[in-house]
Amino acid sequence: MAFTLDPELAAVLQALAEQSGPAPPPERDDWRTLRARGTASMRWMASLLPAYPSGYPLVKASSHKVRSADGAEILVRWYEKADSAPGSAVVYAHGGGMISGSVDLYDSVVAGYVQATGVPFLSVDYRLAPDAATGTGPVEDVFAALIWLGEQAPELRVDPRRIAVMGDSAGGGLAAGVAILARDRGVPLARQALLYPMLDDRTLTPDPRLAPYVAWTWDDNWTGWHALLGAAFGTDDVPPQVAPARVATVEGLAPAYVEVGELDIFRAEAVTYAQRLADADIPTELHLHSGAIHEYDRLAPASRLARRAMEDRRRVISSL
DSSP single-letter state for residue 24 = P
pLDDT tens digits, residue range 250-303? Answer: 999 999 999 999 999 999 999 999 999 999 999 999 999 999 999 999 999 999
Tens of pLDDT, residue by residue over 168-191, are: 999 999 999 999 999 999 999 999
Q: Is the whole model's pTM more than 0.95, yes or no?
A: yes
Count of Cβ atoms closer than 10 Å to residue 287 Cβ: 17
3-state secondary structure of 144: helix
- β pairing state of 87-93 and 121-124: parallel
From the candidates 84, 108, 123, 169, give the one annotated as an active-site residue: 169
For residue 62, indicate whether it is catalytic. Answer: no
Q: Select from 185, 22, 171, 193 the least CA-distant residue to 94.
A: 171
Marked catalytic residue, from 100, 294, 297, 303: 294
Alpha-carbon 186 to chain mean position: 23
The SS3 of residue 51 is: coil
- Reported as type and span, the H/E element at residue 297 is helix 296-299
pLDDT for residue 2: 80
Q: How many residues comprise the chain? A: 320
The DSSP string of 62-101 is EEEEEE-TTS-EEEEEEEEETTPPSEEEEEEE--STTTS-
User: Hey, which residues does 46 pair with through a beta bridge?
Assistant: none
What is the structure's pLDDT at 1?
63
Q: Are 199 and 266 in contact (CB under 8 A)?
A: yes
Helix (H) and strand (E) counts for the chain?
Answer: 10, 8
Pairing of strands 73-81, 191-195: unpaired
289 among known catalytic residues: no
C-alpha–C-alpha distance, residues 316 and 302, integer Å: 20
169 is catalytic: yes
pLDDT (0 to 100) of residue 150: 97
Q: Which residues of the chain have pLDDT under 50?
A: none
pLDDT of residue 275: 98
Name the nearest CA neighbour of 111 among 49, 171, 20, 68. 49
Please tell me the predicted confidence (pLDDT) of residue 23.
77
Is the CB of residue 99 less than 8 Å from the CB of residue 31? Answer: yes
Which residue in the list 264, 289, 297, 303 is annotated as catalytic? 264
E strands of the chain, at which residues? Answer: 59-67, 73-81, 87-93, 121-124, 158-168, 191-195, 256-263, 284-293
